[in-house]
Chain A
């Protein structure tokens, strides 16, 4: 059990793991609201999740932060906010690198999301660059964190489809 400090360096607020669990609950709930089209409530819930993650020690320190950025990407995509989607997907990738390191399957997923965002924005060159990196990573990195070889092979297929779409 560890206490956490907020980003202002204030006094410990609560147990960091508990805050992260609560943040994850909010993220999952937000994703359901996105599916049902209620993006306003999703944004509010994700704002609350961000507060909890920050209070738990900051977003560079936990996997829930990656989930938070992915959830934000879902909202942006649902709302057709393409330019924001790129920014969010890139931030998710940055967070994933800090949390998981260079060669984890999650990095492949993050790169694929970046590529997808660029595909939606019509930026073929950047889409290709991100998707080729994603494919390479899925092919070379070892299964980890519940991501099996079979799953990663399927992701390679999805990334190739996106690449074809990018190339017209």
Chain B
């Protein structure tokens, strides 16, 4: 879907023609904006459920719908997408659905690199969550490598976007402890 350019003119974007070659007169852009807006509304509702309720049962299907919408809009590679995917991973991990959590964290990590960059503390924390899940699944070698990368990224990370120095250091220490448990 062409969510990044206006139609009806000679567009040089590399995705030109991905949906309609500009024949829609901007309709797909408007559709993408509508999908994204609806997804953002759903994410707010899901966030409300997660903060208010003791259960994640209500939030899960809402997150699924928001993911469908962001995917359709072509805007999953965004801050909202990072939050959605990492929250999905955290919920799945909490329910013991480790392979689902692994998938979600891997996707969240990829999206976070695109949205925030590799050196952002949020990206490092998602990578650390992936490392923990890999350790729980028994993929020890990959878990160690992932957690060592996480520690390196956290040591290089600067506080930003609500991630304080204390938070970064606390996560780093937790990852070092997991690495020690894994014998690394």
Contacts and interface: CB of A to CB of B under 8 A. Distances in A.
Interface string A15-34: 00011001101100100000
B58 interface: yes
B72 A48 contact: no
Interface string A47-59: 1110110010000
Interface string B54-66: 0001101110111
B42 interface: yes
B72 A26 contact: no
Contacts, number: 55
A8 B72 contact: yes
A22 B45 contact: no
Interface residues of A, number: 21
A8 B1 contact: yes
A13 interface: yes
A6 to B, nearest CB: 6
- By DSSP majority rule, is chain A's interface helix, strand, loop, or mixed? helix
In this complex, which of A14, A41, A47 has the most chain B Cβ atoms within 10 angstroms of its Cβ? A47
A52 B65 contact: yes
Interface string A33-48: 0000000010011011
A48 B62 contact: yes
In this complex, which of A10, A29, A48 has the most chain B Cβ atoms within 10 angstroms of its Cβ? A48
Given A26-B65, A49-B65, A51-B65, A6 B72 contact: yes
18 contacts: A8-B72, A10-B71, A13-B71, A22-B60, A22-B65, A23-B61, A25-B60, A25-B61, A29-B58, A45-B62, A47-B38, A47-B65, A48-B42, A48-B66, A49-B61, A51-B38, A51-B68, A52-B68
Interface in B26-58: 38, 41-42, 45, 57-58
B45 A44 contact: yes
B42 A44 contact: yes
Interface of B: 1, 38, 41-42, 45, 57-58, 60-62, 64-69, 71-72
A18 B71 CA distance: 17
Contacts of A6: 68, 72
Nearest to A6: B72
A41 B61 contact: no
B42 A10 contact: no
Contact of B61 (A8, A44, A48): A48
A61 to B, nearest CB: 16
Closest 10 CB pairs of A and B: A22-B61, A48-B65, A51-B65, A55-B68, A25-B61, A26-B61, A22-B64, A52-B65, A51-B68, A48-B62
